[in-house]
Structure 1
């Protein structure tokens, strides 16, 4: 009887191999040969799932988005307080080794995508996911009466997204501490919160 293959799990394993190549040697080192060697599979086996560098890079970024989204969704947004919102926003920041690795991959791939128009979706995916997460939290906070009346939620979504991006970048560079990031998020929300 032929062995059944879990294609999603296989793709994730190969995307993790792409991550390891990127972290160790940079995006330029990603190739069928290097990723196959890293994953411990034949080049033919890799090509069956991810036949080109573009698809390997896309799979690597897709895995970043999938994992961040799963973390965000696993913490069912019970927004009883501003601290709950800050904690949930923290799921989108590089506050531990797993999230730091994801942010490193995100930044490396976003930089690579700038020179390759066919990879524009590699950058758009994470940006869209973060913006969507920000909007979801603001919509829930608004629905539950936590936000001041009259706020432009589109503008607030953009402000929060930009703040998260800046915090993520500075956390990765160790310019700001985790406590400092939480304090800035809380301060930002406090100015919009109904007291």
Structure 2
């Protein structure tokens, strides 16, 4: 409940009363579980991070080499992921002046970068990626692309539908692979874009 409220109104506008009303309970019940608004908001932030992490873990459990599917879990392609991005960006603004939130943010970005790096190391070990890539730098570059694109999606969703987001990311991912080693999913995406 709090996630949707934060996504719609921002951190400052959300109150304990709003959360109680959205959950169809009294403010006393919400206050029983959370000492104050800050604790509620930070737990909501952690919850959004955990949900994203669970999706990413499922993708990696299914196929540790599917960089495209893994990357898609970070993209605001649907309402759930767009809400997560709105929450994250609301907290990023707070992180400028709040050391605790800044530390949560640093940890989140580090884990995401390291997860990308892990997938890319798996691909590199199988000789699928271009030789000599700085994998850490490439993992950071992909993450920065996703962050920048997510901001654009939030402020101009009509101009950034899921198809355009995926095309942008696919074009960047294809650049990492050796000629002739591009996975079928990325090749199919490229062919579909050429037909469109």
State the TM bucket, normalised to the shorter chain: 0.7 to 0.9
Do the aligned residues in 2 keep the contact of 1:62 with 1:125 (CA within 8 Å)? no
RMSD between superposed Cα atoms in Å: 2.3
For structure 2, which runs of at least 5 residues remain unmatched after alignment? 180-196
Runs of 4 or more consecutive aligned structure 1 residues displaced over 4 Å after TM superposition: none
Identify which of 173, 180, 183 aligns with 2:167.
183
Q: CA deviation at 1:139?
A: 1.7
> Whole-Å Cα distance in 2 between the matches of residues 95 and 149 of structure 1?
31
Once residues 62 and 178 of structure 2 are traced to their aligned partners in structure 1, the CA distance between those partners, rounded to angstroms, is 18
Q: Does 1:104 align with 2:86?
A: yes
Give the Cα–Cα distance (whole angstroms) in 2 for the partners of residues 23 and 79 of structure 1.
31
Q: Deviations over 1:140-182 (max 9, x none)?
A: 2112221122111111111111111122222333233322222
Residues 65 and 57 (structure 1 numbering): CA distance in 2 closer, same or farther, change over 3 Å? Answer: same
**Structure 1 residue runs without a partner (length 5+):** 1-16
Picking from 148, 152, 155, the partner of 2:137 is 155
TM-score (norm 2): 0.77
How far residue 92 of structure 1 moved from its aligned partner, in angstroms, is 0.7
Relative to structure 1, the CA distance from residue 20 to residue 160 in structure 2 (aligned partners, 3 Å threshold; closer, same or farther) is: closer
Q: How many residues align?
A: 176
Matched, 1:46 2:6: no
Q: How does 1:113-132 map to 2 (within 5 A)?
A: 113-132=95-114
Deviation digits for residues 91-143 of structure 1, max 9, x if unmatched?
11010111111111111222233233332234334323432332222122112
Task: Pick one of 21, 28, 44 that aligns with 1:37.
Answer: 21
Moved more, 171-180 or 66-75: 171-180
Of the three residues 70, 73, 83, the one matched with 1:88 is 70
- Contact kept? 1:32, 1:43, Cα under 8 Å: yes
